[in-house]
Amino acid sequence: MPLSEKLKCYALETLLKTTVNLPSRQGLSAQTLRKLITPASKLLPIDTSLQFKSLTLAGLPCEEIKHPYEKPTQLIFHIHGGAFFLGGLESHRGLMCDLVKYTKAQVIHIDYPLAPEKPFPYALNALFAAYVHMLQQGIQPKDITLSGDSCGGNLALALCLKLRDEKMPLPSGLILMSPWLDLSMSGESIRLNEKQDALLSPHALHQGVEYYITDDVSIDESYVSPLFANLHDLPEMLIQVGSKEILLDDAKRLKEYADKAGIKATLSIFPEMWHNFHMFNHWIAAGKHALLDIARFIDYTDK
């Protein structure tokens, strides 16, 4: 890694540790953390040359982003991260613009119900209804790529499982960015990378589990911790993760289990990268490379 790139990474990591990681370890309420972290996400660049449209799917607020003068052949249905209790359209608008820029696809991201106000299974059921609504509007499943970052990766994989179990048409591909798939947090990387991951802390994960899972729900249920689900008959996956992430083992184990289930899955581990490094692609080369890989995956599944 060139010195200039190392300096940019160091500066970003220092900033994230101070503005995101540190506050998440202070035992603050969901409402307080939303007020602290969501405004910081507005600093991520937004491409105002793109076309933005507010819409609803199954009664949920969504945003469509696309190139104003191009007719996309693929739709990316993205589910945002935030440990099940943070995030929304504003926090991820910058990343969605970057997905449009790199893939030339149309992107729809959705404001799904958050915990603790709406614990499991509210978000999953809402996303299922939104996906079915898209199909009812005439969008072909072969033209849909499902993606998610962090806990959004959990929900994206769980949504695919639910669609399969309900015998509904599946999307053409599944993109998982820094996915959180094991809510029992049994991966060794949660402990080993705790001081390495600039953005995500184990405390934030524990808080997310506390908010998302009620006492009557088993933490190893397939739709809760989809890492442990039977992965048969799922679409091809692209899994991306940073080597410094506390969730590194979730991504590595998913690749292992997908291989055993006969599901084609590509795992890319980006050296020296932290959780959700994609969001910082304007400053770091690894983020750009990850988005280029996503664009190639979209092109491949579109054939």
Provide the annotated active-site residues.
150, 245
Rounded CA gap, 278 and 94, in Å? Answer: 10
Rounded CA gap, 130 and 56, in Å? Answer: 8
Do residues 248 and 189 make contact, with C-beta atoms less than 8 angstroms apart? yes
Collect contacts of 279-285 with beta carbons under 8 A, ≥24 apart: 279/44, 279/92, 279/94, 279/95, 279/149, 280/12, 280/44, 281/98, 282/44, 282/45, 282/98, 283/8, 283/12, 284/5, 284/8, 284/9, 284/12, 285/5
**How many of the other CB atoms lie within 10 Å of CB of 161?**
21
